[in-house]
Structure 1
Amino acid sequence: MFISPMLLEHAADNKPFDNDSYITELKLDGIRLIVSNMDRVRLYTRHNNEITANFPELVDNIDTPKGTILDGELIVTGDDGKPDFQAMMERFKSKKSKHKVTFCAFDIIKYEHKDMNILPLIERKEALESSFSDNQFYTKTKYIYGNGINYFDLVKEQKLEGVVLKQASSKYEIGKRSSVWQKVVAYEMDELYIAGYRKDEFGWLLSNGERIVGVMELGVGPTERKAGYKIFQQLKAGETKDTVYLQPLIKCVVKHRGYTKNNLLRLPVFDKFVV
C-alpha cells in the first residue's frame, strides 16, 4: 500500500531558526522511501515507483508488525561515516553493488492498521520508537527540540547535507508540501565562470577556469536569463549541434551540494552574477 509522503518547504532565506515548538533533525542525503508492511512488505519511492525487488535485504530484515507504514530515507554510509549519495545511487541501480543500505525511519503513517497521520508528530515519534527494533538495515533518526541554529552550524562544519525543522504538534499531511516541515540546506558556495549554454533546453555550462564542472539549470530567473542571453551573444567562442560555448568572462555565485567523485557539481543553483 502506497501513501504519498508529506513534503518539506525551504525555510525562509534558507536559514535555520531556534524555536522550542519545533524538533530538529539531520537531513539525510539519500532516497526518500516508504516502507509498507500491510499484506506484505513493499517499498516505494516518493513518486509511487515500487522498488521492492531492488532491496531484498530490507524485505528479509523488517521487524515491524503487519499494518505498519514507515516514512524515511534510504542511505549508504561512506567510509567517513557520512551518507554517500553517489554510492546510494550505485546501489539503487544494481543489486550486485556491495554498498550496504540502511533505512532511517523518521515518521510512521500507520501502525498495526491504525491511522497515525492524525496524531501530532511527537506522538508519532513515540509510536515509531516502539514499532521496531533497530538492526543493521533499519534504524530511527534522532532529534532534539529547538536549537536549529547551533545544530545547523555543526552540520555545515561537518559538510553534511543540512537540517530539517518540524513543528512538534504537526499532523502528517499526506501528499502535501507543508510549511510546518522546513529544510535548511548546507550549500557550498563558489564563484564560477559561465562557459556556455545548451540550445534546446535551458542550462548554463559552468567552468572553474580550467574545465567544465557542471550544468546549472536551477535558480536562474527570467530577468537573469534575458540579461545573460544578451551578453552571451557577444562572447561566442564556438558551438556544436547542442551547445554554444562562450569566452569564460562572466562569473556568477553558485550554490551547490558539493562535488561527485567525477568532480562535477551536485545540484548547482544560481545565486547572483559577480559584478
Structure 2
Amino acid sequence: MASLPRFVPILATPGSLPPPAVDEQWAYEVKQDGQRAVAYLPGDGSVRLLARSGADITPAYPELAALGRALGRVPAVLDGEIVALDGQGRSDFERLQSRMGLSGSPAKAARMAQRVPAQLVLFDLLFLRSGSLVRQPWTERRAALEELGLDGPHWSTPAVVVGHGEQALAMTREAGLEGVVAKRLSSVYEPGVRARTWIKIRHARTVDVIVGGWVPGRGRLGGLPGALLVGERHPGGLRYAGSVGTGWSDAERTRLAELLRVAAVDRCPFDEAPPVAGAHWVLPRLVGEVRYSTRTKAGRLRQPSWHRLRPDLAPDDIG
C-alpha cells in the first residue's frame, strides 16, 4: 500500500432534507448501519481495509479479500460501509457486531464469515490509477465508481437517486431502513471533515417509557442524572429498555433530579436488574417520551435521546 495515499473518511452532518428549491442539486443514498471502511487496492490483487479510526480491520473480513482480484491491476481507494444484512436485506448493526473486533483472530473471523457474511457497500472513489479524485465533484467521482462495475458476492455499488428527496426518505421509512444520506452534486470529498455537503437524515422513532432508575453524572453534573434507566411495561412487570443519556436542557435535568429524589427506593423495579454500575432506583411512576433509531433483538433502544416528560400519562396508560 506504499504507493497509495491514506485518506481519513469524510463524515456526514446530521440534519434535515435540503429545501425543495434546491432538491435537484442533491443525490440521495440509503443510509447504512455498519462499520465505515476505506478499501485500499494497490493493483496487485490484494486489499487492505482501514476503519474510520485508522485501524487495520482486513483480517476480520476474509470474504472481502476477493475484491482486490475483482478490480485486477487497477490501483484504487474506495470509501464504503461494511454491513451485515438481515432476512429482508437491510443492514443490521447488531448482526455485524459479532464480526467486529476479530482482526486478531483470523480463524474465528473465517468461521463467523460463514455464519454472518459481510457486505461492503461502496459509495465513493477517492483514488484511481495514478491520481486522487477528492477535488473532483461528487458527480464525477460517482460516475468513475460506477464504471468500475464493482458488484460481487460480498460487495456492491447501490443505486442513488438525484432529487426526489422526500420520496426517497418516505421509501426508506416504509422499508424499515434507517434513513438517507444527501450529497450535494458539486461537492468535493473533504477527508476527516464533518461536511455540510453530506447530510444524514434519520427517521425519528418515539416511544413512551417508564423511568426505573438513574446514574449520576460526572464533573459539573455531579448529583444530577447523567443517564436515566428506562423500561417498558408488559404483563409480567417492567422490562429494561436501555439507558438514555442525552436530550435534556440544564433546567430539565435539574427538574428530573428533584422528581427522582422524591421517588427513590432501594429495590430495582425492573424484572432483571440491568448491569449498570452505580445505579439508583426509583418508583416506576415517571413516564417520558424517548426518541430512538432502532432496537436490538433484545428490545433495547439504540441511540435513545430524551424528548420530554409525560406528566399526562400514568405508567398503567402505556405498554
TM-score between both structures, scaled by the size of structure 1: 0.92
Structure number with bigger Rg: 2
Moved more, 55-64 or 117-126: 55-64
**Cα displacement (A) at 1:113:** 2.8
Among the aligned pairs, what percent are the same residue?
Answer: 24
Task: Report the Cα distance in structure 2 between the residues aligned to 1:15 and 1:217, rounded to whole angstroms.
Answer: 26
Alignment of 1:1-275 (within 5 A): 2-11=6-15, 14=16, 17-18=19-20, 19-38=23-42, 40-62=46-68, 63-64=70-71, 65-94=73-102, 95=109, 96-97=111-112, 98-199=115-216, 202-209=226-233, 210-238=238-266, 242-275=278-311
Task: Report the Cα distance in structure 2 between the residues aligned to 1:165 and 1:212, rounded to whole angstroms.
Answer: 35
**Cα displacement (A) at 1:132:** 4.3
Unmatched runs of 5 consecutive residues or more in structure 2: 103-108, 219-225, 269-276, 312-319
Instruction: Return closer, same or farther for 1:244/1:16 CA change in 2, 3 Å cut-off.
Output: farther
**Cα displacement (A) at 1:190:** 0.4
**Cα displacement (A) at 1:147:** 1.0
Task: Report the Cα distance in structure 2 between the residues aligned to 1:272 and 1:3, rounded to whole angstroms.
Answer: 41
SS of residue paired to 2:297: coil
Task: Report the Cα distance in structure 2 between the residues aligned to 1:84 and 1:24, rounded to whole angstroms.
Answer: 20
**Cα displacement (A) at 1:134:** 1.3
**Cα displacement (A) at 1:16:** 6.3
**Cα displacement (A) at 1:93:** 4.1
Question: Which protein has greater RCO, CA pairs closer than 8 Å, 6+ apart?
Answer: 1
| Aligned 8 A contact 1:17 1:147 in 2 | no
Task: Report the Cα distance in structure 1 between the residues aligned to 2:176 and 2:155, rounded to whole angstroms.
Answer: 24
Q: Which amino acid aligns with 1:89?
A: Q
**Cα displacement (A) at 1:268:** 0.9
| Aligned 8 A contact 2:63 2:117 in 1 | no
Task: Report the Cα distance in structure 2 between the residues aligned to 1:182 and 1:4, rounded to whole angstroms.
Answer: 18
**Cα displacement (A) at 1:146:** 1.2
| Aligned 8 A contact 1:36 1:69 in 2 | yes
What's the Cα RMSD here? Answer: 1.9
